[in-house]
Amino acid sequence: MRKSLAKSPLSAAMPMLFLLTSLLPAAGRADDSNLLGLFYDTGGAVDQVAIDPYTQHALYLVLLNPVNDGFGGSGTRDVGSVAGFECGIVPPSGDMLLSVEFPALAINVGSTNNLIVGFASAVPVSSSRAATLATVRVMSFGNNRAGYLLSTATPQSIPGVMAYVDAEDTGDDLVGMMPVSGAFNRPVFWFGDWNVRENARWGEVKSLFR
């Protein structure tokens, strides 16, 4: 089933910037494509870092391996540029989202933690299959086990998933994406080394039974 752009939350941003006009309600993929995360680097590699309390930091909202399964009815195609996106950001208790900046002129009809964004010019996907969609500036209480979560936008264009706009597809351009953690209730970023420590402990437990 296809949806008209006029019925999507992204429609409030797109017409102002003369962006695309029809949407594909694709489901989030189960493999490693169409994954969104918060990182300490634009390459999408650093998902945790130890910090001092009450300090400001820049986190990067990075889309990894964007793929459009519904390209013109001709199967799967790697996405080369992104014209807009929508998602929510949920910081852990004590942390604050201060501001959000975009890599191109953009209109955000949502808020700092509820992003519904259209770009004036499409953001390219790098040769490493990553696209930085936003820079989020945060004030952190300090190392926190809870971590940062991603969520669907409110309202959401595709039920149950986040979404981005494939700038190269003039027919079916909205694609679903999921958190890089695999689920909305699993953090995508931590201040601290909680994830590393817990994985190391689990590795120690497993070694006892080898």
| Domain span at 192 | 3-207
Count of domains forming the chain: 1
- Total count of residues recorded for the chain: 210
pLDDT score recorded for residue 195? 64
pLDDT score recorded for residue 22? 32
Q: Could you tell me which of 138, 56, 50 has the C-alpha nearest to residue 89?
A: 138
Average pLDDT of every residue of the chain = 83
pLDDT score recorded for residue 201? 46
DSSP conformation letters of 148-186:
BEEE--SS-SSTTSEEEEETT-SSS-EEEEEETTSSTTS
The mean pLDDT values, 10 residues at a time, for the chain of 210 residues are 42 45 34 94 96 96 93 74 98 96 97 97 96 98 94 96 93 91 97 65 46
pLDDT score recorded for residue 52? 95
Please state the φ and ψ torsions of residue 89, each to the nearest 5 degrees: -125, 130
pLDDT score recorded for residue 170? 76
